[in-house]
Each structure stands twice: as C-alpha cells, then as structure tokens.
Structure 1
Amino acid sequence: MPEIVLRKRAVIVEEIFHEGGPVSTVPLKRGAILSVIHNPFAGRYVEEIASFMEELKPLGVDMAGALLAALGGKAADVEGYGKGAIVGAAGELEHGALWHVPGGYAMREILGDAKAIVPSAKKLGGPGTRLDVPVTHINASYVRSHFDAMEVGLADGPKADELLLVLVMTTGARIHARVGGLAAKDVKGLDGLR
C-alpha cells in the first residue's frame, strides 16, 4: 500500500463577531485544517484505490484532533462540520473521494458519536484553487441555522501529483441565523437528519 507523504499543513481559524447586525459577545469560530499529500495514483489509472482509505485514517484522526485543539479543545463546543478535497491536475476526481471515510469518521471519532453525515465537496485544480467546504450540524443535517460553508485553499498546492485534504469545524450557527427551520436545541439526533 502507498504510504502517506505529507508536504505541508495549514490551520485557519476565523472568529466572526457580526455580519452587519448586532455584535455577538461570543464569536462564531470556523476552522479548517488542510494537509497537502503526495497522490500515489497521479498520472495513471489504477483500478484498486479503495484500500488507500485505510492508510488515510490516521492522518484524518490527527487532523481532526489538531483542528479541535485550534478551536479550543472542547468537543462539546463543536456544532458543525464538513470535509473536502482538491485533486491536483495529474489525478482524477475519484482520488478526492478517498477522503470520504477517513475524513468523516475521524471527526466523528474525535467529537464523540456525531450522527449526521459529514457533507463534502471535491474538485480538480492546481495551486491556488479555492474550495467551498459545506458545513452542516453534527447531529442533524436539517438544522437550517448551521447550513454554511468555508472557503479554503493554499497558494502553492495542490501540485499536479498532490491531494489537498480538508476538514472544517464550526462552533455554532451562522452568526445572525434567523430563517427558521429545525432549531439546534430541538434536535433528537437519532438518525442524523432531525
């Protein structure tokens, strides 16, 4: 199995106090961790790639733990999450799909029994490509106040033979959420939807 070759990592944390409305005393924190790794399948078609997900699991857990620490270290403070991948030009979109299991389950493991599916985005692109990573509530995908996204990217990655892997976590709803729907306080958390 190919080994993980990590070139660089970046952690981004935003604190949002307002979006033009009242200033919140407790800012919304939105954080992302990005890892750029060598894509072992770049430049050629390989039929069996799914086993590489197993190799990516420790990286996912490490990234999720580092992102949680950057957001203050308390799993109970995290209310939203998402994941994504940017595949360098010598790869294929399916290589980004390898991040679904390792990225999603890593955050669920670190956060403790989160129920909702971890939303995802992936695309092909080169250095400087930006990706909007979708975010939903960790226990119920229908919590409208937590529908969000975080734009991420790095100036020097991914190179053609690389993958840029992303995890995103947030500490709450959009700062001025007020469009109704299922409220976070009313989540039953039984099926990941409501």
Structure 2
Amino acid sequence: MTEPVIRKIVTYAEEVLVEGKRAVPRPTKFLAAAAVIRNPWRGESFTDNLKPAIMAHAGILGDLLVPRLMALAGGKQFVEAYGKAAVVGADGEVEHASALIHTLRFGNKLREAVGGTSYLSFTNKRAGPGCAIDIPMTHITSEGARSHFLTVSFTIPDAPAADEIVIAIGAGTAGRPHHRIGDRHEDMKEMGIRSNNTLVPAK
C-alpha cells in the first residue's frame, strides 16, 4: 500500500480577545491543521480489509499534522484541549474517513505530544467542497471539564473533492472565555451519582 497522496495542507487559527463584550483574561487560540488526501479506497466497489491503508497512512498523517498544530499553539505546553475530524468526499464511505482517525497510530501522535490522557473527541462525515469541518474538543486530561467543551470550525473551499478525504486535528490554548457553568463532576456530586452513573442510595 502506497503512502498518502497529499494535495494540500491547511492550517487555521483564531485568537479570541473579547467575548460577551468583555475582554478575556488572556488571549485564547482555537487552532486546526488539516491534510487533504486522495482517498486510498477510491474507485473500489467495496473493501473488506481497510487495515493496509490505515497502516500506510495514519502514522504519517499524525507526524505531518501534529508539529504544525503545536507551532500554531506556540508550543505543546500551551495546549489545553484537543480533538480530531475527518470528512470523506461523495465517492467514499464514512467508514473511510473514520478509518484514518480512529486508530491509535493517528490519535496517539497528538495525545503523546501534549501529555494527554483524555479520549480525542471527533466528528466523521461525508460532505463536499466548502463544507464546515467541525472539530469538537475536550480538556487533554480532564474529560469532565466543561470549560473545555469546545469546537473549532473552518472550511476549505475546494475540499474534499469526491475522491478525497480531509483529515484534521484541533487544539485550544484555554477553555471558553468567561466559562461559568461548572463541570460534570460537580453535577455528579450534587446529584449523588457515582462515576459509573449509578445513584448513591439516600442515607
């Protein structure tokens, strides 16, 4: 199986300075790095075994995108939230998009770069050029931190073409500006819910 055929690499960055008509405590960056690649399963009626292409593509794509994302953040030490996304063009299956991001050979590249322990939130879908590429994010080590339930969204006007896949990763350098809704663990404590989602018996 050949290595990825990459048509372009796209990076996206926004820096939030004011939210809710109030200056943020510190500038907050929401970032993304994406590769537009040829779908390795293009033109095939159906492929039972996706693993050869996963093995040939996933690690390379992680190695390609992670350093670019870290550079946008100003260094891995500034990353507090992360996530991933894939969009397959009209001639592909959603499974094709999923295959290249739902493997530790891809996700661990980002997780290890920032010392993360949380699962990478994700989206995977089929769409055409100019679609919204939405990358949901969570805190890199605290999955219950609602302050870091974020989404970075961007578009690529000419991608994905019908025979392409967009592979993307995202990062945030802080939580939502002025976040004030608490976190999941606080709710669980207040409601008497254990970590396995069972109710604590009343005393």
TM-score band by shorter chain is 0.7 to 0.9
Q: 1:98-150 deviations in whole A, cap 9, x for unaligned?
A: 212243211012213x1000011011011111122111000121111000111
- In structure 2, what is the equivalent of residue 82 of structure 1? 83
* Conserved? CA contact 1:134–1:147, under 8 Å: yes
Q: Percent identity?
A: 35
* Conserved? CA contact 1:16–1:29, under 8 Å: yes
Between Structure 1 and Structure 2, the one with more helix by share is 2
Q: How many residues in Structure 1 have an aligned counterpart in Structure 2?
A: 181
Query: What SS class does the counterpart of residue 150 from structure 1 fall into?
Result: strand
Distance 2:41 2:155 in 1: 22
> Where does structure 1 differ by over 6 angstroms across 4 or more consecutive aligned residues?
none
Q: How does 1:26-45 map to 2 (within 5 A)?
A: 26-44=26-44, 45=46
Distance 1:164 1:54 in 2: 17
1:63 aligned onto 2:65: yes
TM-score by length of structure 2 reads: 0.84
The amino acid that maps onto 1:169 is A
- In structure 2, what is the equivalent of residue 106 of structure 1? 109
Q: How does 1:118-157 map to 2 (within 5 A)?
A: 118-157=120-159
The amino acid that maps onto 1:5 is V
The amino acid that maps onto 2:50 is I
TM-score by length of structure 1 reads: 0.88
Q: 1:53-91 deviations in whole A, cap 9, x for unaligned?
A: 222212212201111011112x22100000000101110
The amino acid that maps onto 1:40 is P
1:17 aligned onto 2:6: no
Distance 1:33 1:78 in 2: 14
The amino acid that maps onto 1:61 is D
The amino acid that maps onto 1:138 is I
Structure 1: where are the runs of 5+ without partners? 184-194
Q: Name which one, 1 or 2, has greater alpha-carbon Rg.
A: 2
Structure 2: where are the runs of 5+ without partners? 186-203
Shift of 1:19: 1.6
* Conserved? CA contact 1:18–1:176, under 8 Å: no
Distance 1:52 1:13 in 2: 30
Between Structure 1 and Structure 2, the one with more strand by share is 2
The amino acid that maps onto 1:149 is T
What value does the CA root-mean-square deviation take over the aligned residues? 1.5
* Conserved? CA contact 1:83–1:120, under 8 Å: yes
